[in-house]
Each structure stands twice: as structure tokens, then as C-alpha cells.
């Protein structure tokens, strides 16, 4: 096997491409790439990787992209790739990893996240969905909400209460739920944009095999924290080029439409650009720091910054455009896999950005995490403690 260096991995990719046609069968190509350890290179052999340093992932991805190889539709399976996979890798058994990781990475099986509930959003540990042991199965009853991709998902990471008598953080267990199982009902939630990215999910007598339990009974909160920390990095820490994302839309508008400029807005646009660039570099540094381990609470700061910047930038774009910025292009009810922030109108971006301070942990909760776990400030009084 080649050494775990950038040149060594490029040679591995070149050798792989000599025997696998990137223009042929998409699924077969991706399966073979996973089996060759060229999916997540930092994963152990047999789990899509080579045990190589994580920072070399971009070397492999770039080499495949240059060859015109198909990707695994990362936007369509963002929860699976960004949240479920790292959780499974750290906490699942070998048999569970063998069953789920390859079809997750190839995109054959989409994943969603059954965490939030109508009365347990910011205070997730107070959730009420129950899982009761019945032989080799658990019977699950409850309701989840704000579930992205539930309408497309094959599997879901599920947090449920298995011991109602235990303190709320200690009575939870982590499962993988089959979204095609009897008793699972998905209903769309229409948003201010007109679309329904999110769903509410009703679980009525859903049987989950004990073999689909991740970790020990009652240890679900510890495992869920792995998911949540990865979620915040996945939302706020995506790698972007300079002027990538919504700040690029604003900057291009400023350059191309001098008729819209004003002195007051110039200062605001400049400040937004500087903050966006600082946030991009901070996210890049964070990804480098966590490459060899698991995300820490610092991911909360990245996600908080992302939410505030998205709302500030989208608001500036609407203000800069004036009356034309108030036109909404389409109110058609759709159920997309992901928001189209760059392909739609300013109004769409403005409305969609309102949700950034709620999804993946509210900004209020993230500030508390930063204060207590990053800055070391005294904890807020809590009745559940």
C-alpha cells in the first residue's frame, strides 16, 4: 500500500481510476471507492478509509473531481454524512458500521435526525418520545418535529426516553430507526419561504430492533452530544472559498449595480464582508484543529456566527435592492432536499435565513454553551440540576 502522504494518495487514486471508469455505473463506482478506502481516508480500513491523516481528504476529493468522477450528492444526504456517520464511527459496533456506513456514503440510503420535539427543542433532554423494551425489540411512541429529509430518508438517528424515572439526561437511549417501518408517518411543515424542507414525524408503535441500539441503554445523551457537536460544525463550518456563500451574492451585487449604492450601505456591506471573511477563516482553522479528533464546544461559536452573518447579509441584500428586493419569485409548495440559497431571490434568502438561528441549536443555547464550556463562566441556575 502507498504511504499516507499527499503524493501517495494521489497515486492510489490514479491506480483506482485505471481500473474503474468514472463515467460508468455511478453506484458501482462509489461502492468500489468506499471499498478501496478512498471515501473517508481517515476512517479505519473496512470502514471506507485507510487510517490516513484527515487533512488528506481534500487531496483525494480533488483528485477524483479532476478526473470527472461522480460525487455522492452530499447536499442530499447532509445529515447522514455530517452527523450520523461520525456518530456511528465513534459509538457503533463493527456489525452496525458494516451495515450502514457504505450505503450512507454512496448515497443509496439517506438519513434524517429524530431529535427535536414540539416541547423539546432547545431543551432536547426533556424529550417525551418513549421506547419500551419488548423482547428483542423496542416499541417507540412519540412525535418529532423540524426533521429535515424525513420525506426522503431510509434511516433516522433517534433519541428516545427509555427510563422515565431517571433524571432527564440519564434516561435516554440512542437508536437507528427504519423510516419505512410500520407506524412511521411523515407530514410536511411549510415554511415562510413557501417550501417544506422540514417535516413532523409521528411514531406510533414503531418496533426498533435492539440490534439497532447505539451504545448502552441510558447512555443516549452522551452519544447525542457527538451528533450535536458534529451538526454545528456541519452547518456553520462548511469549507468555502473567499466570497463563497451569501456574502458573494452581496459583493457581486454591490460591484455590478452602482445605481443601488449609498454611503451608509457601503459601510455596512464592508463590515459584513470583513466579518464573513473572518468567520470563514475561523471555521477553516476549527476544521483543521478537529481533524484528528471530535468537535468540541468551539463548533457552537462557528454555528452562532454563521447564523448571525446569514441574517445580517440577507437583510443587507434586501435593503440594497430596495423595492425589487421585496419580490418573491415562487411560492410553490415543494419538498426539497436542501435550501437553494444561491439560486433563488433575495426575499427567499432573507426568509430562509430566519431559521439559521433556530436549527442546529438556537443562538441562545449556543451562547450558553460558549459561556460555560469555552469561556469558563459560571453556569446558569437550572431547576433540573
Distance between alpha carbon 21 and the CA centroid of its chain, in Å? 30
Residues 349 and 246 sit within 8 Å (Cβ to Cβ): yes
Q: Which residues pair with 157 in a beta bridge?
A: 113, 176
Distance separating alpha carbons of residues 2 and 215, to the nearest angstrom: 35
H-only helix segments in the chain:
6-19, 26-35, 57-66, 78-79, 85-91, 94-106, 220-236, 246-256, 263-289, 298-321, 346-353, 363-369
Q: Which residues pair with 207 in a beta bridge?
A: 139
Q: Provide DSSP, 191-247.
A: -TTS---EEEEEEEEEEEEGGGEESSTT-HHHHHHHHHHHHHHHHH-----TT-THH
Distance separating alpha carbons of residues 175 and 114, to the nearest angstrom: 10
| Cβ burial, residue 80 (10 Å; 0-12/13-18/19+) | buried
β-strand pairing of 137-144 with 198-209? antiparallel
Q: Which residues are catalytic?
A: 231
Contacts of 353 (CB under 8 A, 6+ apart): 246, 307, 310, 311, 313, 314, 315
Contacts of 133 (CB under 8 A, 6+ apart): 162, 210
Amino acid at each position: 500500500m502507498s504511504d499516507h502522504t499527499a503524493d501517495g494518495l494521489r497515486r492510489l487514486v490514479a491506480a483506482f481510476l485505471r481500473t474503474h471508469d468514472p463515467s460508468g455505473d455511478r453506484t458501482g463506482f462509489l461502492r468500489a471507492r468506499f471499498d478501496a478506502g478512498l471515501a473517508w481516508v481517515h476512517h479505519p480500513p473496512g470502514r471506507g478509509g485507510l487510517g490516513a491523516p484527515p487533512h488528506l481528504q481534500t487531496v483525494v476529493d480533488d483528485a477524483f473531481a479532476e478526473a470527472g468522477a461522480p460525487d455522492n450528492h452530499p447536499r442530499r444526504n447532509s445529515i447522514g454524512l455530517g452527523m450520523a456517520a461520525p456518530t456511528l464511527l465513534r459509538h457503533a459496533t463493527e456489525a452496525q458500521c458494516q451495515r450502514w456506513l457504505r450505503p450512507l456514503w454512496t448515497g443509496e440510503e439517506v438519513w434524517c435526525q429524530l431529535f427535536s420535539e414540539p416541547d423539546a427543542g432547545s431543551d432536547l433532554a426533556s424529550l417525551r418520545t418513549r421506547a419500551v423494551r419488548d423482547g428483542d425489540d423496542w416499541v417507540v411512541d412519540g412525535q418529532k418535529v423540524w426533521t429535515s429529509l424525513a420525506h426522503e430518508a431510509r434511516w433516522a438517528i433517534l433519541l428516545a426516553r427509555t427510563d422515565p424515572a431517571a433524571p432527564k439526561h440519564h434516561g435516554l437511549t440512542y437508536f437507528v430507526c427504519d423510516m419505512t417501518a410500520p407506524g412511521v408517518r411523515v407530514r410536511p411543515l411549510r415554511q415562510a419561504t413557501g417550501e417544506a424542507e422540514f417535516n413532523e414525524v409521528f411514531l406510533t408503535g414503531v418496533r426498533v430492533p435492539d440490534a439497532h441500539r447505539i451504545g448502552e441503554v441510558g447512555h443516549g445523551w452522551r452519544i447525542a452530544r457527538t451528533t450535536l457537536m458534529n451538526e454545528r460544525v456541519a452547518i456553520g463550518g462548511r469549507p468555502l472559498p473567499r466570497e463563497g456563500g451569501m456574502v458573494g451574492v452581496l459583493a457581486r451585487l454591490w460591484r455590478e449595480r452602482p445605481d443601488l449604492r449609498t454611503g451608509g450601505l457601503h459601510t455596512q456591506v464592508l463590515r459584513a464582508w470583513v466579518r464573513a471573511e473572518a468567520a470563514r477563516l475561523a471555521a477553516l482553522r476549527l476544521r483543521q484543529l478537529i481533524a484528528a479528533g471530535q468537535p468540541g464546544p468551539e463548533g457552537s461559536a462557528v454555528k452562532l456566527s454563521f447564523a448571525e452573518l446569514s441574517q445580517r447579509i440577507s437583510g443587507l441584500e434586501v435593503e440594497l435592492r430596495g423595492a425589487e428586493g421585496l419580490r418573491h419569485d415562487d411560492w410553490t409548495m415543494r419538498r426539497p432536499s436542501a435550501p437553494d440559497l444561491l439560486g433563488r431571490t433575495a426575499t427567499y434568502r432573507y426568509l430562509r435565513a430566519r431559521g439559521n438561528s433556530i436549527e442546529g441549536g438556537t443562538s441562545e443555547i449556543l451562547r450558553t454553551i460558549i459561556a460555560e464550556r469555552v469561556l469558563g463562566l459560571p453556569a446558569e441556575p437550572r431547576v433540573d440540576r
